[in-house]
Structure 1
């Protein structure tokens, strides 16, 4: 919601209140006010385009003009009452969904660039779609430190804009009509920043059913601190992603009969994701040999992995079987399936939301204890103000009133921007130590945030 939208709504409400409490019909104040409102509507429409949130506002404006300039007689009180009701109705859309949400602004010292790669693994058949000739696609969006004078347009927030299907996950796509205006704080195809050495790499995996877009705040935040973040989309699991042939792929869920807890289904998806990770690492290794590509700026001896929810558990499982991954972060994820045996210490970090409901998180706890055992220890921090969805951008798609209601009443997406900043700080401290070889600062970072508590690791 930009300053022009706020100005229009404030003027509309003030004019409506003046009309209701004033006994006068048209006067100089109302003439100037309605004329300015009309001008602002025109400017907004041609500058930003049509917002569906304005529909009741347009109706209210028409009713307002009738109240000011019409000959109403005894119907004036009824019209004033209708104006009051419509004022509330006009404000409701703005209190729920924002036309153009604002993401968490990165605070690192680097500008950020981004590129998208849509790769096909010709050695793997697609297991999820019904087409027997499908090959596995993996979509990767790179977020990276860019030259400080990088110029250009910001990247599109979501694959498929502006030709989205009727629904994206559970959300009607018309709510996203103007998501092309979201500032991602990254310049498309910007030149990588020059450095004395190559950049460390962090693969980032989304939660189950989530598109990579919903982790833009975390990815851009990490890139601004000096990492190349490769954020993956897993087709037919992600809410929406565009394949190499241009097709838009949405979620397909093919649960097996008798799998009431979806354990087998989730393990299969985790295994597919692990294979996706290995494919991506192979791709960047192959492409780094070409001197003219972006991939020559990547240090393939410093690869870490992080993810949220199923993505976090997948990242840890991928590290257990992939020696090229040097460190892993699980953000609030539950492990499905087993792990290969290992006797080697590998750096592992668990970042979690508040877990204060006894008995609810038994599978989550058991899976993470298995990970700590696998990697012979690690770090564990709890963000006491966060819930599972706070790590994503999804709460930021809501207007502040709806965000407060979802966070404090429904415990969904609490303190999102605060959570993003704390999470990026922990990720930066952990990977700066494990990939860059600098002294560990994770405890120092935790001490800067009252909401972060270090928890003991027992396995």
Structure 2
């Protein structure tokens, strides 16, 4: 099942990024103003503007867990994480943050067979509305960890991350070493996807192991963000009593696995991820969890992913099972938003990209507003006229 999802990811990226093939390669991270090719303007991509009251800052934090070898490449030494931290910021401070570095965009294109044909700067310069070097807003805010899908980089969850930060959250989007082909670590190191090779050999159990390994990564990340000697310069912004986690695909499974391993994570969201690593039979100690997925794969009863029926019964706290009509596996990421701007539609996901993005951002934010901020959310009580695509599943326990 996940192999099919990986193939869909590659297909969507090839289609979306291939639409820029007529644009010459550029060295700058942003196309020059007014640049054209044969009279056609170079594409300027942008994510949706954040909906909250705060401006958004962005930092990058590199972490090494010297007490643990990398599980997929032990010869490489300590396990490494690369984290984009988005945070509420003061308006008018900092400089525009790139979507990804030009080198990361090059690696992305090369991995899809588009090296030399597409301008990496067009992808890297996507407007995110986040700013590096921005002064932090005053106050303490809940922390949400975001975990990307298998083989995908943390940048694919940028729209969700910036929106949450604008609404008053510190957000840590995590890349795990040797799990993606598109992450560049300090020193210009582009690490091979050793986890991809591992999963090809191990199959279903390999994906479960990925979720379990991320459930070891995230507690280490929390230690480094909220401990006595934090790795992030603005760590005092974080309210360590209010921590949540959300993820896409294997990242969603990892949210549940992390909650099972670490009581500090008080609430979790799985966005269209199979529970390869099952929710414990004893549940998650009463903590809230939301499943948000495609109608095609995750409607109650007769679904192609039976792990949702199994683990729904194991969730022992507040819970919701939501499905989105017309959604595809990558609906809950930035890919449809970027593809739509390039004139590309994904035939497997007819839901318009703007609706994909709005549903993801609004429902995930509502969940964390309810469970980390204590603000009642009508959106989570049942179907609403403004969101006819979203169905509330209610299977028997």
Indicate the TM-score class for this superposition, using the shorter chain for normalisation.
0.7 to 0.9
Gaps of 5+ in 2: 1-29
Q: Which residue of 1 aligns with 2:91?
A: 148
TM-score by length of 1: 0.71
Aligned residues between the structures = 363
Report the alpha carbon displacement of residue 384 of structure 1 after superposing the two structures with TM: 1.4
Pair 1:246-2:223 in alignment? no
Equivalent residue runs for 1:32-181 within 5 Å: 47-48=32-33, 54=37, 57=38, 99-129=43-73, 132-150=75-93, 152-159=94-101, 161=103, 164-165=106-107, 167-170=109-112, 172-174=114-116, 175=118, 176-181=120-125
Equivalent residue runs for 1:16-415 within 5 Å: 47-48=32-33, 54=37, 57=38, 99-129=43-73, 132-150=75-93, 152-159=94-101, 161=103, 164-165=106-107, 167-170=109-112, 172-174=114-116, 175=118, 176-195=120-139, 198-252=140-194, 253-255=196-198, 259=202, 262-286=203-227, 293-342=233-282, 344-355=285-296, 362=303, 364-367=305-308, 369-376=310-317, 378-398=319-339, 400=341, 402-404=343-345, 406=346, 410-412=347-349, 414-415=351-352
CA-atom RMSD, angstroms? 3.1
Greater Cα radius of gyration, structure 1 or 2: 1
Distance 2:82 2:201 in 1: 32
Distance 2:155 2:200 in 1: 32
Q: Which has the higher contact order (CA 8 A, sep 6+)?
A: 2
Report the alpha carbon displacement of residue 286 of structure 1 after superposing the two structures with TM: 2.0
TM-score by length of 2: 0.81
User: CA 1:363–1:382 in 2, change beyond 3 Å: closer, same or farther?
Assistant: closer
Distance 2:84 2:212 in 1: 21
Q: Note if contact 2:301-2:395 (Cα within 8 Å) is conserved in structure 1.
A: no
Distance 2:316 2:84 in 1: 29
Q: Secondary structure of 1:254's match?
A: helix
Structure number having the greater helix percentage: 1
Q: Note if contact 1:146-1:192 (Cα within 8 Å) is conserved in structure 2.
A: yes
Pair 1:435-2:377 in alignment? no
Q: Secondary structure of 1:398's match?
A: helix
Report the alpha carbon displacement of residue 372 of structure 1 after superposing the two structures with TM: 4.4
Distance 1:162 1:311 in 2: 21
User: CA 1:146–1:446 in 2, change beyond 3 Å: closer, same or farther?
Assistant: farther
Distance 1:112 1:331 in 2: 23
Pair 1:456-2:394 in alignment? yes
Q: Secondary structure of 1:231's match?
A: strand
Q: Deviations over 1:83-121 (max 9, x none)?
A: xxxxxxxx8xx9xxx743221221111111111101111
Distance 1:445 1:225 in 2: 23
Distance 2:243 2:122 in 1: 35
Shift >6 Å, 4+ stretches: 356-361
Pair 1:424-2:361 in alignment? yes
Structure number having the greater strand percentage: 2
Gaps of 5+ in 1: 1-44, 59-90
